Amino acid sequence: MNMCARTQLLIPLCPQEHGFTFDRVLGPGAAQEAEQELLTQVQPMLASVGQGYSIALLLQGQDTEAPRFVPQVLQMLFEEALPLCSSDPVLCTLSLVQISRSGQARDLLSPCLEDLPVLDVAPLGLVVKDASEVEVSDARDASELYLKAAGSEGRDCPLLQVLGGDPTGEEAEGSLPWIISWLLEANSYSGVLLRLDPRGSSPSLLQNVLLGASRKRVQVNDVKPTLWNAIEEMRARRATLKMLRSGLLGDTLTDGGLNRLGRALWELQVVKAWDPRSHAPKGAKSVRLPEPQVEGEPLSSCKQGRHSAHLSEAGRGFLGSGLHQKHPLRHSEEWAHQAPDVALQFSLAQARRQRLREEHQVWIQEELKHLEHRKEAACKQIEGTVAEEACVERGGQWKEQAVLKLQVEALQAERDMAEQDLAVLYDLYVQAARARTCHLLQVFQAWQGMWEEKAMATEHRHRSLLADILQDTIDLALKNQELQAQNQQPEQGADRASCAEILPGET
């Protein structure tokens, strides 16, 4: 029995966003053909990532189809985008987040179940606060991470409800309709693939979805690469922070003012994570690849949840650097996972060298057995007692030389492995020292920030108390003046009466 499906595809074809549609009836074996056609159409879009463009590819399909299709998109992304970045080494990182109907995200690379907000940070785009970021070397590593995260639990995709919703409704920041609209507008190449089965959804929903997709397709957006300077952005945000803090010192503390200050501090940490001087390895650039959640995984909720990651490719997310201002005790757990275990690697190196020695001993014994067999075969061919004794003597010298030669070869191999292990352990030690230093600095910065906030709150409270004291002093002074005026009135009346009594007597 054939499965009837309808596919809508919205893809830009040039620097000005355009769209096209293809409709077909898919049989049992036509799904892969449609996917290959889609990959062919998105290939130039994926290649533009290496030139600084942002991509949002939203897919709606069965859960069993997404794990097969997304690795193909990742493979093409690595093949098309990385060669265009530069000839220098490139640092590629991956984040996987699951978006729920409420707009909250959960980190699929973290065991935490905390809901993470999705915010808009200019000029980076959408940022998932405190999302994890993992370095990947190729498409295989990225696909393995995705398949592991995507196969853990089922997913409920609300993409159809978003596209089929009320187009005139207000979209609050952080909500799922706002996220979808942001991904399909402004500085993003946008593609939407809908594989709809009329038997699985109501006809009215399918009609609204197709109308919503058509409205998105006719929108014309100005597509251009995102170019910005992290140092300038940090300078601008520090100036904003200074203004906010000055305003809080003179005004009454409000929740809105504190929220704006916290948001500004967080955005500064996001931008600082993009500074090439902060944490990029020597000889590598910080490059952010679009998340498979946006490209190929249906947006929904999943029972997983935590650094920060971007839903757009405007740059590298601030999941990976550990530069967010967090509580020092909670951040200690993350630092323990990031810092390399030098003692463990040293023990593993010792075990490898011990295993190599044992292998060399077995190898030497086997070589000696072969030499014994060859010596016996050679001595059997020699006749006579004197000749046999000479053969035995030469065989002993030959065996001793062979043993020494084999031992030298084994020691050379062990020396080479020891040198390699030493170099690796040195690198790990340097990484551990840097991680510990970074951790101590982060703890110091976190406590410094907490102390500054406490000092600001204390100063503001003291200012308020001083203002109240001054006001009370002024009120008391006014009361004293009133009382003095009231006391002077009876005295003046008594003076007038005494004067009146004296005047008649004199006359």
Find, among 355, 300, 321, 297, the residue nearest to 438 by Cα: 321
CB 306 within 8 A of CB 131: yes
Find, among 187, 202, 168, 155, the residue nearest to 59 by Cα: 155
Beta bridge partners of 310: 127
For residue 449, which amino acid is it? Answer: G
**Angle, in degrees to the nearest 10, between helices 385-506 and 328-338:** 160
The dihedral sign for the CA sequence 138, 140, 143, 147: negative
DSSP code, position 410: H
Residue 208 half-sphere exposure, CB side, CA atoms within 13 Å? Answer: 14
Q: How far apart are CA 110 and CA 22, in angstroms?
A: 39
CB 294 within 8 A of CB 311: yes
Q: How far apart are CA 453 and CA 354, in angstroms?
A: 55
Q: How far apart are CA 361 and CA 403, in angstroms?
A: 11
Residue 357 half-sphere exposure, CB side, CA atoms within 13 Å? Answer: 7
**Angle, in degrees to the nearest 10, between helices 230-250 and 255-272:** 160
Distance of CA 310 to the CA centre of its chain: 7
Question: Quick check: helix, strand or coil at residue 175?
Answer: coil
Q: Cα-Cα-Cα-Cα dihedral of 162, 165, 166, 168, to 10°?
A: 20
Instruction: State the pLDDT at residue 221.
Output: 62
What tens-digit pLDDT sequence spans the chain (507 residues)? 222 222 233 333 344 443 334 444 444 456 677 777 777 777 777 777 777 676 777 666 554 455 677 788 888 888 877 766 555 667 778 888 887 777 678 888 887 777 888 888 877 778 887 788 888 888 888 888 888 877 655 455 566 666 666 555 556 776 777 777 777 665 444 555 555 565 656 667 667 766 766 666 666 666 666 677 888 888 888 888 888 877 766 656 667 777 787 788 878 878 877 766 554 433 333 333 333 333 333 333 333 333 334 433 333 332 233 333 333 334 444 444 455 667 777 777 777 888 888 888 888 888 888 888 877 777 766 655 556 666 767 767 777 888 888 888 888 888 888 877 877 877 787 788 888 888 888 888 889 889 999 999 999 999 999 999 999 999 999 999 999 988 888 777 777 766 666 555 544
- What kind and span of H or E run contains 128? strand 125-128
Instruction: State the pLDDT at residue 309.
Output: 41
CB 212 within 8 A of CB 196: no
Instruction: State the pLDDT at residue 461.
Output: 92
Q: How far apart are CA 338 and CA 428, in angstroms?
A: 12
Sheet containing strand 309-310, edge to edge, reads: 118-121, 125-128, 309-310
Distance of CA 376 to the CA centre of its chain: 69
Q: Are strands 125-128 and 118-121 parallel, antiparallel or unpaired?
A: antiparallel
Report pTM.
0.44
